[in-house]
Amino acid sequence: MALFPLTSNFEGDFVLQLLPVDTENTMDEVCAAAAYHSVGRRVKARPGHILRARKQGASEPLPRMMRVAEAGLKPTECIEIVWEPEKR
């Protein structure tokens, strides 16, 4: 367990956020931490959608249960947080 800084580029937000997370956090937890700084402030919530994290410029999101330590991210690397329709 160690503090790990990332940069959050949240879909629909014009502000990049420094996002302190833990190396043991899952991508779902990283998305929740990013949402705290954007949703309800500069970005409207999207019912029926989930948040996914992906490396900057990647087309595929990281697995939701992948931990920060397993993702191969570098300190302060920018990740994109994007909305994805919830599968029913």
Cβ partners under 8 Å of residue 1, min gap 6: 22, 23, 24
pLDDT of residue 63: 98
Q: What is the pTM of this model?
A: 0.93
Cβ atoms of 43 and 10 closer than 8 Å: yes
**Mean pLDDT across 49-58:** 96
**Mean pLDDT across 37-65:** 95
* Chain centroid offset of residue 83 CA: 10
**Mean pLDDT across 8-35:** 97
- 74-86 pLDDT per residue, tens: 999 999 999 999 9
